[in-house]
Each structure stands twice: as structure tokens, then as C-alpha cells.
Amino acid sequence: MRSGGATAVILSRRLGAVSLLVLLLIAAAAEGSKSGSGDGKAHNYEEALRKSLLYFEAQRSGRLPHGQRVPWRDHSGLTDGLEQGVDLVGGYYDAGDHVKFGLPMAFTVTMLSWSMIEYGDDVAAAGELAHALEAIKWGTDYFIKAHTQPDELWAEVGDGDTDHYCWQRPEDMTTSRQAYKVDRDHPGSDVAGETAAAMAAASMVFRKSNPHYAHLLLHHAQQLFEFADGYRGQYDSSIAEVKSYYASVSGYKDELLWAALWLHRATGKAAYLDYVVHNAHDFGGTGWAITEFSWDVKYAGVQILAARLLLRGEHTAEQKRTLERYQAKAEHYVCACLGRNAAGGEDANVERSPGGMLYIRQWNNMQYVTNAAFLLSTYADYLAEAGVETVTCAGGETAGAGEVAALARAQVDYVLGTNPRGVSYLVGYGAKYPARVHHRAASIVPYKHSKQFIGCSQGFDHWYGRRSSNPNVLVGAIVGGPDRSDRFRDNRENYMQTEACTYNTAPMVGMFAKLNRMAREEREQRAATAAEM
């Protein structure tokens, strides 16, 4: 599974005064995306945004609403939690199977919310605000249900082992729907912390449009953080079943720092920032120099959020030195992606494929690409807001803020088809994209077309091994992607490359929205320049 996420006119509200070098580097990246895309044209980021949000509707569990836009899905998991006497209907299937794993689901919602916090105006300008809010709320509604007591959170529904033995549509599920929880006696600081982060971030998204709901989310977030911090432990020690699928390799301390930063941003309460500063060393926040960011490893995100506070001057004199240490680690991550940590040791930089893709590991590498693009983009924005034009790398090297933004855009364009194979790894976008995604529902005839029951092994017998394309296009999904040599085999059985996950696509909602705005401004600038000639 996934053990293992012309001129660029950015003279608007985010960037302020930017050097000519910044503009030239971003413009160069834009030109590169045009020449590298399969049809020779610039990428249509608005289309990519629209399709990315559609994907979350395909991943819905529970009773689907009347406005459901993915016609080949129907109601599923309607008895989830029944055996335990709790309503756990809803939420998301994280990938191509039907287990509801709480940790990656919460990270998905955190990244969707962060996308909206940074680039929500751009999402709205593209006409996708309502769909983005629906995508977040589908997750947070479920978290509210799953948080049944202040110190109790249901963290998984379904059994990974039995689920993987079957190839069925979610509407036909015959596999176990056992539910697993963390509580005082069986702690899970990582999953509780990430869920707190998700609900705190989401509360900021709904603050204007639905203040009552935002308040409710913040209440749950604060309770979950207190639970996560007060009863510390890894959730995979309390829920042994999850170890084969979403083991918490990084432990729970990164999630505690992550949740505290999001609660500080949502509430402005000094106690949460004090927590991040006080625990900086013991929790690894200023000790770990990280080169990846994912549903499991949050340190790079923690460090960039902390650096934002430093850049904005939102700290006391006593907190400044610790925040500077956080920023140094944040810039190690940024420089690692740029390949600029010259004196940082053998593993100080992120490997690149010949086509320029950031490469971390073979299993679902695209999650690291999309999450890196988002972190790089937001950090470039934070630097520009503060009027800072360079980052400092190991060995005394420096890199321009424009280079950081350009790399973020290059990674997005790689996903959309600016790569040696000319393949879009965003399903449904472009002329060439994966047709045999490792996904049970997409690979079987739609339930609405054929309600004939498909048993556990029948799906393997009749659908899994077919060489033909999936009958349903999983629009907006971002698959695991190519290997370190840009090679990709479009085969349903090649799940390391063809399975898609919600946390691959979530950060791209913000990226597509931002790049769509930038592309529009570039077009307007070119038109204005042409009119003056």
C-alpha cells in the first residue's frame, strides 16, 4: 500500500517588492512549462484545479449528497461504527481501497485547509470556492463524529488485511468494518494531534462563511490537542492493525508541534507558541534537518510555519532565538530540494530524476513532490512578504527566493505533463494520463449501471487483471508516479506507481489556484505590453 506526501506578475498582495531576478526566474519557469507540456501550450491550471477537487468526491464514504458530481459512485459504509455503538458514517477512503485511516485523512484535510488559508481568494476567483469548502467539510464533519469524548478519538474504520484480500466496489463491501479508537488507556498523540491540526486549520477557513461551525471545530481541536499532549503515545502501539499500512515512523512529537502551531495561528493564544518554543529541542523541531514532508513526517511543515512567525515579527524577544533555529532547519529543507546543501553531507539534498522530479522513494513518490511544491511555494511567499530575497544553505551557499518559487512551479508542471514521457500524473488532465489506476471503484463497472453484487474474489477474477483501461476515470487523482529515472508503467498491479491518494492531491488545490492566478496576470501583462507597443 503506501507505507512509507513573458513575465510572472506577482506584484500583488503577497509579494510586495520583489527583485528583477525573482521575476525573471519565475518567468523562465513559466516558459519552460510551455515548451515541456505535451501539446506545446501553457498548462491550464484552472482546469487542473477544477478536476483536483472532483477527485475528493470520488473518495467519499457514507451517504452521498444530491449534488454528488461523480456519477459512478454511490452510498457505501452506511453501517460504519454500528457494532461499536457510534456513528462513523462518512469521511474519506484514502486511496484505492476502503479502509478509513484517520492519520492520512486528517493530514489531507489539514493540507486542503492550508491551501485555502494561503490561496483561498485564488480558488474563489476560479469559481471553485464552494467545492473546496465541501471537500474540507466532508472530512471535518466526520472528525466531529469520530471525536466522541474529549479523550476519545476513533482513528480507523475497516481492516487493512481483509480489505486487501478483496477487489470490490465500496458499494458491495463484505470486508470487516471493525472500528478502532485511541483513548487515555490507548493513546495516539500523532493521530489526535494531526486531527487537532486539521480542525484548527479548517476553523480558519470557515470563520467568515460559517462562524458557528468554525467555533465548533476550534473547540474540538483544542480538546484533541489537550488529549494528545496529556496522554502521550504512538497510535500504532495502541492500534496494532495500522502498523502494516500507516505506521507512525516519525513518532508523535512532530504532530504535537504541528498542532500547537495551527492552534496558535487559529487562536492567536500565546500559550501555543510558548509550547512550540519550549519543546523545540526535546521534540526535534530545531534538531531534525529533514528532506521530506508527508502525512507521517511533519517537521519541515512545522519549521516553515515557525519561520513564518519569525519573518512576520510575531514573537517576543525571548522567542526569537528559538524561531531562528526553526528557520535554519526550514531553509535546510528548502535548500535540500534545490540541491544547494553543498557541505551538508551525503543525504543533505533531495535526489532529482533526469526530468527534474524531486525523488524521495519508490513507493508513491508523488506525495513528496506535491507536498514539497506547496511548502516551497508558501515559503517563497513568506520571504517575499517580508522583503527577504535569499535563503541560506549549508556550506554558506545561498539561493534566491525566486528560485524557490520557480522550483515549486516546475514540480507542479512535471505533474501536469512537463516531463520526459509527456504524461500527466493528474488523472483526466491532458491528452495522456494513467488509464489503469489501482483503484477498486474506478476499475469495476459502476454500481448505478449494474447493481449485480460483485463478491470479494470476483473483482480479482473479472476486473483486476484486465489489460483494458478502467471503466471509470478517477478524475483529479494524482497517482504514485514515476521512478527515479522518470519511468512509469501504467498497470493496475503496479500499485507503487498507479495507486492515488488523497494527500497527493490536497496540496495541489492551493498550487493550481495560485498558478492559475499567476498565469492570468502574466497574460494581462503581456496584453498590456503589446497594447503599449
Q: For the segment 444-491, what is each residue's pLDDT rounded down to a tens digit?
A: 999 888 888 988 889 898 899 999 999 999 999 999 999 999 999 999
Does residue 28 surpass a pLDDT of 80?
A: no
CA distance 482 to 476: 17
The number of C-alpha atoms within 13 Å of 393 and in the hemisphere containing its C-beta is 22
Of 175-189, 386-400, 462-476, where does mean pLDDT reach its minimum?
386-400
Give residue 21's pLDDT band: very low, low, confident or very high (50, 70, 90).
Answer: very low
pLDDT for position 343 = 67
Triad 266, 252, 374: Cα angle to 5°: 55
Start-to-end Cα distance in the chain: 57
Q: What is the pLDDT averaged over residues 410-421?
A: 98
Select from 107, 115, 104, 105 the least CA-distant residue to 60: 105
Average pLDDT over residues 320-324: 97
Active site residue 147: no
Q: Residue for cell digits 514532508?
A: 293
Q: Does pLDDT of 347 surpass 90?
A: no
Confidence check: pLDDT of 35 > 70: no
C-alpha cell at 136: 474540507
Query: How far is Cα of residue 88 from the mean position of the Cα atoms in its chain?
Result: 23
Interacting residues of 336 by C-beta distance below 8 A, sequence separation 6+ = 291, 344, 348, 349, 350
Phi, psi of 292 (to 5 degrees): -145, 160
More confident: 18 or 293: 293
Residue 7: per-residue pLDDT: 24
pLDDT in tens, 523-533: 888 888 888 87
Report pLDDT for 41. Answer: 62
Span 20-532 CATH architecture = Alpha/alpha barrel (1.50)
CA–CA distance from 253 to each of 114, 127, 165, 284, 412 (Å)? 20, 38, 34, 7, 30
More confident residue, 440 or 9: 440
- The one catalytic residue in 220, 264, 438, 439 is 438
pLDDT band, residue 346 (cuts 50/70/90): low
Question: What is the reported pLDDT for 277?
Answer: 98
The answer on pLDDT for 23 being more than 70 is: no
**Burial tier of 328 (Cβ tally within 10 Å: 0-12, 13-18, 19+):** middle
Number of residues that make up the chain:
533
Provide the 8-state DSSP code for 65.
P
Distance CA 12, CA 26 (A): 15
Give φ, ψ of 155 to 5 degrees: -105, -5
Per-residue pLDDT band at 344 (split at 50, 70, 90): low
Strand partners, 183: 152
Angle at 404 between CA 523 and CA 317, to 5 degrees: 120
**452 is written with which cell numbers?**
449485480
Contacts of 232 (CB under 8 A, 6+ apart): 187, 189, 252
Q: How many CB atoms lie within 10 A of CB 127?
A: 11
Specify the DSSP class assigned to residue 40: S
pLDDT for res 394: 85
- For the segment 114-158, what is each residue's pLDDT rounded down to a tens digit? 999 999 999 999 999 999 999 999 999 999 999 999 999 999 999
**What percentage of the chain reaches a pLDDT higher than 90?**
83
Phi then psi dihedrals of residue 391, to 5 deg: -115, 150
d(CA 344, CA 324): 19
When mean pLDDT is compared across 38-52, 186-200, 413-427, the lowest value belongs to 38-52
pLDDT at position 13 over 70: no
Mean pLDDT across the chain:
91
269-278, 341-350, 434-443: range with lowest mean pLDDT: 341-350
Question: Looking at the DSSP assignment, which residues form a beta bridge with residue 42?
Answer: none
Q: Which residues contact 134 (CB under 8 A, 6 or more apart)?
A: none
DSSP three-state, residue 501: coil
Question: In this model, does residue 10 exceed pLDDT 60?
Answer: no
User: Looking at residue 530, what is its pLDDT?
Assistant: 86
Task: Assign 3-class secondary structure to 254-301.
Answer: HHHHHHHHHHHHHHCCHHHHHHHHHCCCCCCCCCCCCCCCCCCCCHHH
